[in-house]
Chains A and B, each alone.
Chain A
Amino acid sequence: VSAKEMVIEIQKSGVIAFSAEACVGCGTCELMCTLYHEGVGGRELSRIRILRDPFNHEYQALICPQCLAPSCYAACLSSGDAIRIDEVTGARYVDEDACMLCEDCIEACPFEPPRIRMLDGRETVVKCDLCREREAGPICVEYCPVDALAFIARSER
């Protein structure tokens, strides 16, 4: 089953949209993501990452776009079936207990750098899951002080 053929089979996901015009590079998104998902302070483990150019005050974000036709999902179907589709949000997420660390999903991700990553000391790959278990939605969006991040629900995508 190719990713293209799956479009009709799997549901759409909500997605986090980024405004480079609004972003001030404070990194609150990275820190809140890391705090919520990993329980530590830091930037390196964040599912959302900000590329910084402080001398021009310009920033870019690396965010999983929750592809309509997710190659990572397709790649994992034939290996470990650890990438799932959340029934409520549609988020493409990793079932961390099921991940076998084969890295097929990382290879399949069409983005550079891949939006799925290995983290030191973790026995699973990690990716943005839109904070699917969090009632208020993605924590990065909620805490962004300048509204550079917005959550677009799947119904509006």
Chain B
Amino acid sequence: VSEPKSYGWAGTVLHVDLTSGAITRTPTAEYEPEKYIGGVGLNTRIFWELGCPKVAAFDPANPLIVSVGPLTGLPGPFNRAEVCSISPQSYPQELFTYSGFGGKWPSEFKYAGYDAVVVVGRAEAPVYISIHDQDVRIVDATGYWGLDTYEAQQAIIDRDPGTSVLCTGPSGEKLSRNAVIANETGNTAGQGGFGAVMGSKNLKAIAVHGTGVVPIAKPREFLALIEDRKAKGDWMVGGPQSWARGPLDAQGAVRDEMIEKYRKKYAGCFGCQYQCTAFYDMPGVGKGQAMCASWFYADLNQDSRAVWEAQVASQKLGINHFDLIGIWFVLQEMVERSVLTDEEWTAAGLPPVPKMWGGEATDHEFLSALYGGIADGTSPFAAGGGRGFHQLIKSLDKEEELRTLYETRFPASGQTAHYFGWLGLALHVAMDTRDAGNSTDAYLTFGGRPDVAIEDPEEGLRVAERTGKHFGMPTGLTTYGFAEGSAIKAEYAGIERLTKWTLSNHHLKNSLPMCNFACLPDQFFDPPEMDIRVFESTLFSLVTGVETSVDELWKAGERIWNLRRAALVRRSGRTRADDTFPDAIFDTVWLDGDGLEVHETQFVREEFEALKDRYYELSGWDVETGRPTRAKLEALDMTEVADLLEREGYLGERRAS
């Protein structure tokens, strides 16, 4: 195989057709990596090339695409991969979306010599893909089907020594729409339900062992950049998202017990100098790595064993823990409001009511029934939290009664939203196909760095002011939620600029890739010589040898977002009307907790629509349809995209003055 020589990129995209068994390779260069980089950008470019197929999530033609980027495999918070596919979780429509993960697998895959793997088709019987550098095989996985994610990974490693394994759990095999793709014990592509896409393809795992290296165009200068940042004090232990190292203070006694008795060591992704999470070992319950969302059961129950069981069981069965948070809360509210009789509750396939909500069941019985039902596909929530709950209340003829609960709990394309009540993120969530997820912290930086603010609210605000002023972002507290008191009077001015900035940042981070949690807007902050944007473009230039200015790289972030938008327009007919929320979001004042306090939020429809006008205008999109215009696409060097959208009747045309 002759492969193009390049720095940063491995140079090869692997294609596996599980129906025919064909394994082929194409040069990464065919997908314009200088323009679309890697990760979400490369995935979307590949999806575009495949014609943005208008198929269902479980159709064999739905491609499951996993990409790393030019920085993957290097020392630093760069060892992430992004999965893109048509999502079985998003609701009401199955939308093309993305989910990232770190851990060990991404670097191993890069060392094997690949930038991306595209899996299509459906195997006749369970298989896994085994990759040892150039040796790629489709291997029988019948014996691994049914194993949990820990068991499956260990069994495959025993058979395929040296590999790192990306796998789906029992829930994905049963096509549960909140199934994750897992690597090791705490790194998962959680959103999107992509574990079920693997299940639909009869694909248990992708195991990879790589012995290659990542060539760097200017290794001495790259090392010097790292040495310089280290000397300046921002290349060290202790990730910005340090609250994942243990439960929050607000989670009470569970915090002390988990940290003092069961925390083994801090943990992080391969190659990262930050250890933003931790590994726990609770005898009789289990072991594993935890992230911040791992602790939310403690908001319901102060029993550490139950909290940890909730985490370990979801990891092993491969269920999206973030979705479970939404599911717990709607179940709790249904119990509190006595929506169903006991008989109706049982007949609906809901888990026995636990003691914490006044029922008889132990936590173990409750969790086993709920998780077991998702893992074997029999629970209403195997359809995903939002979709499952909506279908459930419709079937019970309770849609009117519970509409507000449904709409406020699952407002992000049918998914639980991350800090949704904070207006600063809302436009992004409305336009995206999942919650704003890993960009949340970027928004919050301008609102007062919550992790800093936990220790020192004044310092959190100073960071926000300094960073916001530098990047020209609004830093009004009322925009983000750190207002005094509980009521937030939302300020809409400037959110279009904030959203545009963060979308470029978000797509760059998810394409280089660079961990959003480890590279917040206030990091590497030493202007005018250095800031996060200078850092990114310098790294990119030194590693790839493609000299790229700050503005050029930023433009790539905007380009990738525009290609995602174009793919949504082309595949799902995305239009302005889709960039919104369920009615309840506008009709009610609702509460959103940030771990520090609970805030009241209300969105005003007219204000939100005016914000969209300003955002589309600023972004060069058709204000009436919310679709990219030719002028914008050409300015982003995307003439072929404009041509294709025009041919298919999807090009934005009109700009408001």
Contacts and interface: CB of A to CB of B under 8 A. Distances in A.
A39 B273 contact: no
Contacts of B184: 54-55
B272 interface: yes
Given A54-B185, A55-B185, A42 B236 contact: no
A132 to B, nearest CB: 17
Given A24-B275, A55-B287, A57-B279, A145 B213 contact: no
B348 to A, nearest CB: 37
A26 B268 contact: yes
Contacts of B243: none
A137 B213 CA distance: 24
B265 A41 contact: no
Contacts of A84: none
A22 to B, nearest CB: 8
B215 A28 contact: no
A3 B81 CA distance: 49
Contacts of B212: 42, 44
Contacts of A143: 75, 230, 273
Given A38-B213, A41-B213, A143-B75, A24 B287 contact: no
A39 B266 CA distance: 29
B150 to A, nearest CB: 6
Contact of A145 (B150, B185, B223, B237): B237
A31 B76 CA distance: 9
A142 to B, nearest CB: 8
Interface string A18-46: 00001011111001101110111111110
B222 interface: yes
A146 interface: yes
A52 interface: yes
Contact of B269 (A26, A34, A55, A56): A26
A140 to B, nearest CB: 11
Interface in B44-96: 73-75
Contacts of A45: 213
A31 B237 contact: no
Interface in A136-157: 143, 145-146
B265 A42 contact: no
B273 A41 contact: no
Contact of A40 (B215, B274, B289): B215
Given A24-B266, A24-B268, A42 B111 contact: yes
Interface in B178-232: 184-185, 211-216, 219-220, 222-223, 230
The main secondary structure of chain A at its interface with chain B is loop
A28 B271 contact: yes
B533 interface: no
A42 B219 contact: no
Interface string A34-76: 1110111111110000001011110000000000000000000
A26 B275 contact: yes
B104 A41 contact: no
A41 B544 CA distance: 12
Contacts of B268: 24, 26
B154 interface: yes
A127 to B, nearest CB: 18
B264 interface: yes
A35 B219 contact: yes
B220 A41 contact: no
Interface string B253-297: 000000000001111111111110001010000010100000000
B214 A41 contact: yes
B279 A27 contact: no
Contacts of B153: 55
B28 interface: no
A84 to B, nearest CB: 25
A32 B75 CA distance: 7
Contacts of A34: 213
Contacts of A52: 104
Nearest to A50: B270
B270 A27 contact: yes
A31 B107 CA distance: 11
Given A24-B265, A26-B272, A42-B111, A54 B104 contact: yes
A83 to B, nearest CB: 25
B37 to A, nearest CB: 16
A24 to B, nearest CB: 5
A123 B395 CA distance: 72
Contacts of A22: 265
Interface string A108-133: 00000000000000000000000000
A45 B214 CA distance: 11
Contacts of B270: 25-27
A31 B150 contact: no
Nearest to B184: A54
A24 B104 CA distance: 12
A131 to B, nearest CB: 12
Contacts of A35: 74-75, 216, 219, 222-223
A89 B146 CA distance: 55
Contact of B267 (A24, A31, A43): A24
12 contacts: A24-B268, A26-B271, A35-B75, A35-B222, A38-B213, A39-B220, A40-B215, A41-B74, A41-B214, A43-B107, A54-B184, A57-B267
5 A-B pairs closest in CB distance: A42-B213, A41-B214, A39-B219, A31-B75, A145-B237
Given A35-B219, A143-B230, 15 more contacts: A24-B266, A26-B268, A26-B275, A27-B107, A31-B271, A39-B216, A40-B216, A41-B74, A41-B213, A42-B73, A42-B111, A42-B214, A43-B111, A54-B185, A146-B265
Interface of A: 22, 24-28, 31-32, 34-36, 38-45, 52, 54-57, 143, 145-146
